[in-house]
Amino acid sequence: MKSIADLRSSGGLQARVTAIRKTLVRAALKTACVVLAFAATVVALPAQTFNSIFNFDGTNGEYPNSEALVQGRDGNLYGTTEYGGKNSAGTVFKITGAGVLTTIYNFCSLTSCSDSGVPAASLTLGVNGNFYGVTLGGNVEGYGSVFEVTPAGVLKTLYSFCHSTNCPDGWGGNSALVLGADGNFYGTTKLGGVGGCGGCHGGGVAFKITPAGVYTKIHDFCTGACTDGTTPQGLVQGTDGNFYGTAISGGANSAGTVFKMTPAGVVTTLYAFCAKGAGCPDGINPAAALVQGNDGNFYGSTDGDDSNSGTIFKITPTGALTTLYSLNTGTIGAEPVAPLILGNDGNFYGGIYRNYPDGNCCGYLFKMTPAGAVTVLHPFLGTDGNGVFGMVEATGGSFYGVTYNGGSSNLGTVYRLADGRAAFVRLVANHGKVGSTVEILGQGLTGATGVSFDGVAATFTNVDETYMTAVVPTGALTGTVTVTTFTGSYKSILPFRVTPQFTSFTPSSGKVGSVVTITGDSLKQTSKVTIGGKSATFTVVSDTKVTATIPVGAKTGQKITVTTAGGTATSTPTLAVVPSITSFTPTSGPVGTSVKITGNSFTGTTEVTFGGVAATSREVVSDTQVDAVVPTGAVTGTIAVTTPGGTGTSSTKFTVTE
């Protein structure tokens, strides 16, 4: 069992940063800092206001967490510290925009630290207004937990990791949870599972957990050849419904991976780092979760190693990677170890952990365009923070974030960066079906006079200044949510995805070329229809109806799927694709004649008949060709081909000759 004292003493900060969470804790960095001159390739500082609004002193926590703060319904920001607080095991805190901090929970407050300790990631806001997070240590087993905590500080342990030898269910939550489109939370553990990683009790797992605490492991990393990577660094759900993430090591080059994972846990490795030779110019050791941009691509960073200071990259959902920025040049420091965020201007924002090449201090904040142009926003000096992690853009328009140490006590700071940008609204969940209730965070919301989903008006409820709800209206379109008030309007950063619904299709069977009518909801933005595993031509009739033509090659017994801008809907029943005969040759012959039959949907053929008499010799050459021998007893008549989808009959007769 790992005690909190064990966790505190295990390894130094440089070891952890260099290996990115290969040890469990960090030690303090030096506060001395050398401010580097910026290279000409980096854009100059824009007009802005930076304030260090809080300094941790140990009693209220120390070493605030590595990812970001999260905004609550009340407009305040919430976060965690890895250590410090009443029991030196970490805290959950609330902080106002003005810097007034309140510790709402001290970990290890229960006997034997059964409430856990060392929270190792940022919190995630749930649709009930509570926060969800993970810990590295503490609890009954000593290997971390998943917890829920209310804004008032009432904590409930939802799941304790490592229930049996070698932790097959995972060990140590190390990244923020993701609220999935199905209402469950998804996350990863640092170690554990049944995969191998050099005797370290597994390569980590991906898991799903309900808000009530029902836990399901969905993937073991580093099984077999470890091509999927080891020690996953967090997840993000893409607009296609799949999850995307990074693993810090493992993969084909033992340098980390980017992977795609279905909600059921099926993982596909999209990219293995260090694929371009010595020095790993494409990056090594991806240290943080990804973020999806407005272009549908994912953006992330690699931490690097002793010979590589890190990179910032773009990767398509199919795995094409582009290095946008290399930190080896020494212009803005080294080791971007926290996730990027997407700003309301479409650019990306993040933190650089330390200077380069000094390495002792202090880090930078930066902005990056989707094309990779970098602007330095603030260089840290140590007194205002040291060891820069992630940040969040609050709905008022300012950025807030934490540094791991530095400040008056060298135990970390909270900062605010304002550059006059416009206020906006944030949706707790960016997806939902017609009729569902959407939670909206913002400011001045008691003055709301209207809410629209890409221009379609919705009913809404003003709750208070910083929180309101709206119901997804009939006919809602995937796109920007706009809240109108007496004095102006606020738009969401991310589009709201209206989930399509599949009600039924008719007829239940048909041959290639026949039309199927699909009914449901939110079908107006349909971009693709798949029938029998093949893309079909289609026509959008209305928001509740689409017609589609059964395509060549469609297989029987498969479900129909409709893809829209908001997601994919799948039918419950399957479609029976009936075979069809277009021709046969020869058109006549005696018993024993080999006949070539052409048409569609012949895969799985179970019978071919000539005038009602079954052929005893047949072969499915392809989905469009079946060969059969005219059987003994055959009479002049039509040819019929039977598959699991039904029976197709020729329009002309085969003549049996003497």
Question: For residue 280, is the peptide bond before it cis, meaning its omega torsion is within 30 degrees of 0?
Answer: no
Q: Following DSSP, what letter does each residue of 7-20 receive, concatenated?
A: HHHS--HHHHHHHT
For residue 563, the model assigns a pLDDT of 95
- CA 381, CA 384: separation in Å to the nearest integer? 6
Provide the whole-model pTM.
0.86
- CA 83, CA 470: separation in Å to the nearest integer? 39
- CA 100, CA 422: separation in Å to the nearest integer? 24
Nearest Cα to Cα of residue 176 among 88, 283, 66, 101: 66
Q: Which two tokens stand for residue 319?
A: 């795995």
Residue 286 has pLDDT above 50, yes or no: yes
Phi, psi of 5 (to 5 degrees): -65, -40
Do residues 143 and 91 touch, judged by C-beta distance below 8 A? no
Q: Would you give the DSSP letter of residue 33?
A: -
Report how many helices (DSSP H) and strands (DSSP E) the chain contains, helices first.
Answer: 2, 60
- CA 55, CA 384: separation in Å to the nearest integer? 9
Residue 45 has pLDDT above 90, yes or no: no
Calculate mean pLDDT across residues 231-257: 94
What's the distance, CA 95 to chain centroid?
Answer: 27
In sequence order, the 6+-apart residues with CB closer than 8 A to the CB of 139 are: 113, 114, 115, 116, 145, 157, 160, 161
- CA 484, CA 468: separation in Å to the nearest integer? 12
Please name the helix (run of DSSP H) or strand (run of DSSP E) that holds residue 312, with its range, or none.
strand 311-315
Residue 78's pLDDT band (cuts 50, 70, 90):
very high
Where are the extended beta strands (E) located within 9-76? Answer: 49-55, 62-64, 70-71
| Residue 329, helix vs strand vs coil | helix
Nearest Cα to Cα of residue 141 among 127, 153, 155, 159: 159
For residue 160, the model assigns a pLDDT of 92
Q: Would you give the DSSP letter of residue 164?
A: S
Give the dihedral sign, CA 288/293/298/302.
negative
For residue 165, the model assigns a pLDDT of 81
- CA 534, CA 575: separation in Å to the nearest integer? 12
Q: ∠ at Cα 403 (238, 118), nearest 5°?
A: 75
Residue 645 has pLDDT above 60, yes or no: yes
- CA 510, CA 560: separation in Å to the nearest integer? 13
For residue 46, the model assigns a pLDDT of 53
Residue 279's pLDDT band (cuts 50, 70, 90):
confident
Amino acid identity, position 529: V
Amino acid identity, position 657: T
Nearest Cα to Cα of residue 233 among 200, 192, 267, 189: 189
For residue 19, the model assigns a pLDDT of 38
Please name the helix (run of DSSP H) or strand (run of DSSP E) that holds residue 6, with its range, or none.
helix 4-9
- CA 597, CA 626: separation in Å to the nearest integer? 5
pLDDT tens-place string over residues 164-202? 888 899 989 889 999 999 999 999 999 889 875 544 457
pLDDT tens-place string over residues 488-541? 999 998 899 999 999 999 999 999 999 999 999 999 999 999 999 999 999 999
Calculate mean pLDDT across residues 13-27: 33
Proportion of the chain in helix, strand, coil states, percent, rounded to 5: 5, 45, 50
- CA 536, CA 585: separation in Å to the nearest integer? 30
- CA 130, CA 421: separation in Å to the nearest integer? 28
For residue 66, the model assigns a pLDDT of 66
For residue 224, the model assigns a pLDDT of 81
Q: 373: how many CB neighbours lie within 10 A of its CB?
A: 14
For residue 302, the model assigns a pLDDT of 93
pLDDT tens-place string over residues 299-354? 999 988 767 788 999 999 999 999 999 887 656 777 888 899 999 999 999 988 87
Q: Lowest-pLDDT range, 189-198, 227-236, 406-415, 627-636?
A: 189-198
Nearest Cα to Cα of residue 560 among 531, 525, 537: 531
Q: Tell me the domains of the chain and their CATH numbers.
A: 4-418 (2.130.10.10), 426-497 (2.60.40.10), 500-577 (2.60.40.10), 579-656 (2.60.40.10)
Q: Which of 67-71, 90-94, 338-342 is modeled with the greatest confidence?
A: 90-94
